[in-house]
Amino acid sequence: MRRVIVLGSTGSIGTQALDVIRANPDRFELVGLAAGSQAEQLAAQAEEFDVDDTALGAAEAEQLVRDVDADVVLNAITGSIGLGSTLAALKAGRTLALANKESLIVGGALVTALAAPGQITPVDSEHSALAQALRSGTKQEVRRLVVTASGGPFRGRTRDEMGGITPAEALAHPTWDMGRMVTTNSATLVNKGLEVIEAHLLFDIDYERIDVVVHPQSIVHSMVEFVDGSTIAQASPPDMRLPISLGLDWPNRVGGVGHPLDWTRASRWTFEPLDGKAFPAVGLAKKVGRAGRTYPAVYNAANEQAVNAFHEGRLSFLGIVDTIERVVDAHDPPEVLTVESLADAEAWARASADHAIAKLS
């Protein structure tokens, strides 16, 4: 029986995690819940699962992680505001089931230095797939990681064809049902750029050996290529309950959380190279990942400001990545990475992004 705290319990990942816990009362006990602002939904969840310990807001969620006895903390908070809870979970010695990729990306060495081997289990479908495939060989046998991308709703378009994209169009993802920030990040491929940085930090593989390939069907969630020419792929219908369940009880598999592929029906899987000119976010993410220090935090913070401006009608779709690039290029990082220097860099990035957005609009 694993005692679980779910942070971000009212969001997409959080509610699906509760589905997994609800269906497996013999394996998981829910002992804590935290949400950002949905107080009524949080209260209803606490009543259903008979949970006494709840939190509303990032600061209270962090305190909940410190105070409540648990084996696993699922961090499904959206954005870099989840960093405090990630650090608290690691310091407390709990397994961190990480859906809040931003906290690892922004925290970088601060997070990886705290984590014991195996203490962080990935919940993103791509990184869960990589973790599963990596069990087929040693690290020395890995040639490269191949992260798959659906391509989002604008796959196949040139940059010129994306000039007039509306927020409604950006939110019409062909495969996944996600929140506003993550869905928009998928449309710009910023999300895939963040996932490349996350893959580097989780698995300690050089950026030169991490590739992105477009796979519109979203069946193969990622692949590992080994030195003997063999490629191991993890495939399953797109359903986040599978990687969530693995994150909660790694490396054990939870029966019945997902449905297998139907091999009696004809199907076709396609793979296409990423168009880096139309979608420069991945290349820019590799650049900031290599630069390290506070650059990934600046990339992420500038993106959050730009996405919000796009949905408020103050910035074009193409202006999102243009804004990130301007802010990254202007960044002067501190010599030492600390929680305080990260906070300062993020504040600078948000202010710089707002200034750039005002100019672009």
Residues 161-202: pLDDT tens digits?
Answer: 999 999 999 998 776 666 788 899 999 999 999 999 999 999
Residue 361 has pLDDT above 90, yes or no: no
What pLDDT score does 44 carry?
98
Predicted confidence band of residue 105 (pLDDT cuts 50, 70, 90):
very high
Phi, psi of 22 (to 5 degrees): -60, -40
Q: Which residue has the tokens 């107080």?
A: 39
Residue 215 has pLDDT above 90, yes or no: yes
What pLDDT score does 194 carry?
96
Sheet containing 120-122, strands listed edge to edge, beginning at the edge strand earlier in sequence = 54-56, 28-35, 2-7, 72-75, 95-98, 120-122
Phi, psi of 357 (to 5 degrees): -65, -40
* Other C-beta atoms lying within 10 Å of the C-beta of residue 361: 11
Residues 121-157: pLDDT tens digits?
Answer: 999 999 999 999 999 999 999 999 999 999 999 999 9
Got the DSSP string for 175-210?
Answer: S----HHHHHHHHHTHHHHHHHHHHHHHH---GGGE
Comma-separated ranges of CATH 1.10.1740.10 domains in the chain: 130-224+273-360
What pLDDT score does 129 carry?
98
Question: Was domain 130-224+273-360 assigned CATH 1.10.1740.10?
Answer: yes
Q: Which residues contact 288 (CB under 8 A, 6 or more apart)?
A: 197, 295, 296, 298, 299, 328
Got the DSSP string for 228-241?
Answer: TS-EEEEE--S-TH
Residue 324 has pLDDT above 70, yes or no: yes
Among the ranges given (75-89, 108-122, 177-191, 333-347), the one the predictor scored with the smallest mean pLDDT? 177-191
CATH topology of domain 2-123: Rossmann fold (3.40.50)
Tell me which H or E stretch contains 39.
Answer: helix 39-49
**Contact between residue 105 and residue 196 where contact means Cβ atoms under 8 Å apart:** no
CA atoms within 13 A on the CB side of 15: 10
What pLDDT score does 77 carry?
95
Comma-separated ranges of CATH 3.40.50.720 domains in the chain: 2-123
Tell me which H or E stretch contains 3.
Answer: strand 2-7
Predicted confidence band of residue 78 (pLDDT cuts 50, 70, 90):
confident
What pLDDT score does 176 carry?
62
Burial 66-88 (b: 16+ CB within 10 A, else e): eebebbbbbbbbbbbbbbbbbbb
Q: Which residue has the tokens 């087929």?
A: 136
Average pLDDT, the chain: 96
CA–CA gap between residue 33 and residue 24 (Å, rounded): 17
